[in-house]
Chain A
Amino acid sequence: MADYYSSFEPKGTRWLLQRLTAAFLVVVLAFHFMLLHFVNHAAEVTFMQTNLRMSQPGYFLTMVAFLVTATFHGVNGVYNALVNQGLDGTPKTVVKYGLILASVLLVAQGIRVAMAMAGFIIGPAA
């Protein structure tokens, strides 16, 4: 096993990032839940209110950061769970690139949605 040196693995970087994103997400996820279920009630959400919130630059940026960190944390978590389960060889490489693709698509779509909510409409006009 000592002979297997992977040049692609930036030693422990993903481990550290998982913890750093975790710390950030603890705060932001709790805030998100509080805001959208206790301060406002989910059942009473309208586009107007969403638009109002997303038009504030600070909130907008926080939400985008939330999206990116949550995507990384979640997809990295899934990848690790699979590797721990014994995923290796070709299936592992396939899954890795599949997950990377899924993350990129999710973040891209999420940013599109955020823009639409904030009133910058990109793509099909409202």
Chain B
Amino acid sequence: MSQSYDRGLVEDFGRWREFSAGMWAWVFHKFTGWVLVGYLFTHIAVLSTATISAEAYTQTIVGLESLLVIRFLEVGLLAVAVFHILNGLRLLFVDLGVGLEAQDKSFYASLALTGAIVVASVPTFLAGAV
């Protein structure tokens, strides 16, 4: 057989417009997962100031929280965590075999709910730094 042509990953991110709901769910769940794992390591690192002294701990946290950019990052973190939780619940239902007919609708619902929760939480998160 003659040499065959490898087109690389067709139907991947270049063709994002043609993605189905299930595919978006998978992509977002992965992305939010990576962000959360990254955050977990960072979080423990920041909290490690508690092993130095009480003042170091408090100062670090207050210092970070006074930066506006940190507040925005926290809103982002909320969005990421809420989506991962809601889509995760959707996946748990799929794993139990419940509601498979509505799997794409449930994805859109988790997106919508994530948006709603994030928007509602913005005032609380930005309080004190704006």
Chain A residues proximal to chain B, CB less than 8 Å: 19, 22-23, 26, 29-30, 33, 37-38, 41-48, 50-51, 67, 70-71, 74-75, 77-78, 81, 106, 109-110, 112-113, 116-117, 121, 123-124, 126
Contact = CB atoms under 8 A, between A and B. Distances in A.
Contacts of B121: 37-38
B129 A81 contact: no
B66 A43 contact: yes
26 contacts: A22-B91, A22-B92, A29-B81, A29-B85, A37-B78, A38-B124, A41-B124, A41-B128, A43-B66, A43-B129, A45-B61, A45-B65, A47-B50, A47-B57, A47-B58, A74-B33, A74-B36, A74-B37, A77-B37, A78-B33, A78-B34, A113-B47, A113-B51, A117-B50, A121-B51, A124-B51
Most chain A beta-carbon contacts within 10 A, residue among B50, B125, B128: B50
Interface string B12-44: 000000000000000000100110110011001
A106 B44 contact: yes
Interface bracket on B? 35 or more
Contact of B30 (A46, A81, A116, A124): A81
Contact of A78 (B37, B48, B78, B124): B37
A84 to B, nearest CB: 9
B92 A19 contact: yes
B62 interface: yes
Given A19-B95, A22-B92, A71 B40 contact: yes
Given A19-B92, A67-B44, A124-B52, 7 more contacts: A26-B88, A29-B85, A47-B55, A50-B57, A74-B33, A112-B51, A126-B52
B2 interface: no
Contact of A33 (B54, B55, B81, B128): B81
A57 B124 CA distance: 29
B65 A77 contact: no
Contacts of B36: 74
Contacts of B41: 106
Interface string B76-88: 0010010001001
